[in-house]
Each structure stands twice: as structure tokens, then as C-alpha cells.
Amino acid sequence: MDTERTCLLIIDIQYDFLDASSPLFVRGGPSIISNIEKILNYFRENNQLVIFVKRLHRSDGSDVDKTRIELFQRTGGFLIGGTRGAEIVEAIKPLPSEAVVIKKRWSAFFHTELDLMLRREKIKDLIICGIQTPNCIRATFTDAISLDYDVIVLEDGTASSNLEIQKSNLLDMENIGAKILRTDEVINLLKYQI
């Protein structure tokens, strides 16, 4: 891993995925925040690139996934720009100097400027964390390796609605080239430039 060429991607750590009352609540979500905070702090202290990704929708639902329109309408909507539910949680709130990429679908690369930004910064390695593993994490990972990035997925910095889904998805990603590592392992790799 070339630490100079490594970016930390933090995906969808927004209240609407983390509040137990939200229709999009991911059960494993709240427990991973402290690990993400830990690696984020390491990146900030070492002036390494961090990019936040969030999902935002219009209040009329016109940009919501087709398969979620019914849920959006029935529940009054989610991840609507300007609402608290769409905000990144306080513990890891982006600094004014940190980039936030807005996405509308599962993959952080899908119809976004993310790949262009990573190329500009000559990034080779990505560390992916956030929620949730079978959907946005996996879709982002698939695009990332398709684009020739080397990818680490944080085992304890990603979450699913249950452990079985979490495990099967980490295995599938490992089978096509993801490195699955814990937060402390990655910080050690970065620290000692292994």
C-alpha cells in the first residue's frame, strides 16, 4: 500500500441509516461508528485524503430508486436534502475542507465525479467503510476494482442488517480481490508503511 496514494472512502454514514426509527435503518450500523472515527482521525492527523459519500434525494422522490419509490412515498421520504436524516452523523462530520460526493444509487461511482477526483489525486488504493455492506459498499467495491483500484474493505467498519449477510458479502468480495481487514490492522499497515 502506498500511503500517499491511499484514500479513505466513508459511505452513507447518515442519520437515516442509523436511527432505529428510520425505514432504512441498518441494524449493524451504530456499532461501527467508533471504528470509522478512529481511522478518520488517523487520516486527518496524517493529512491523507478522505472522501465522504452520501445519498441524497429530492423531496418529491423523483430521483429515488424505482424499487424504493413506494417506500419513499409511504413513509414520507428519506435522505432528503436539508433534513437531519440526510446529514452525516456528528461524530464523523466532514470538515469544511473535506470533499463530499453526492450519489443517487448504490455505487459511489455510479454517475458521480468520484473516479475523476481520485484520478486527479493519483489515488491507487481505496479503503472503503460505511453502510451497508450488501448494497452500497459492495456496489462501490465492484466499480472500484473494475476501475483497477486496490481495495481494502473494513471488516469492522462496514455493517449489514445481520451477521450472515455481512459474512457472505465480505467473502464474495474477498473472492474477487478485496482485502478484508480490521481498522487496527489497516492503521498499522499505514503507520509502518507495510
Query: Residue numbers of the site for its own copies (CB under 8 A)?
Result: 65-68, 105-107, 110, 134-135, 138-139, 142-143, 145-146, 148, 150, 164-165, 168-169, 171-172, 175-177
Beta carbon of residue 42, minimum distance to its own copies (angstroms, whole number): 26
Distances (CA, A) of 103 to 6, 43, 64, 148: 21, 23, 11, 21
Strands 150-159 and 50-55, bridge-based pairing? unpaired
For residue 73, give the DSSP letter: H
- Closest contact distance (angstroms) between CB of 112 and its own copies is 11
Cβ nearer to its own copies, comparing 145 with 187: 145
Residues counted in the chain: 194
What amino acid occupies position 72?
Answer: F
In the complex with its own copies, the residue whose CB is nearer, 167 or 191, is 167
Query: Among all chains, which residue has been given the C-alpha cell 455492506?
Result: 133
> What minimum distance in Å lies between the beta carbon of 115 and its own copies?
11
Question: Least distance in Å: CB of 172 to its own copies?
Answer: 4
Rounded-to-integer distance, Cα 50 and Cα 127, Å: 10
Cβ closer to its own copies: 90 or 148?
148
Q: Are strands 125-131 and 179-181 parallel, antiparallel or unpaired?
A: unpaired
Which lies closer to its own copies via its Cβ, residue 5 or residue 68? 68
Nearer to its own copies, 81 or 177 (CB): 177
CA 67/CA 158 separation, integer angstroms: 23
Q: How far is the CB of 170 from its own copies (least distance, A)?
A: 11
Q: How distant, in Å, are the alpha carbons of 1, 40, 181 from that of 34? A: 24, 10, 16
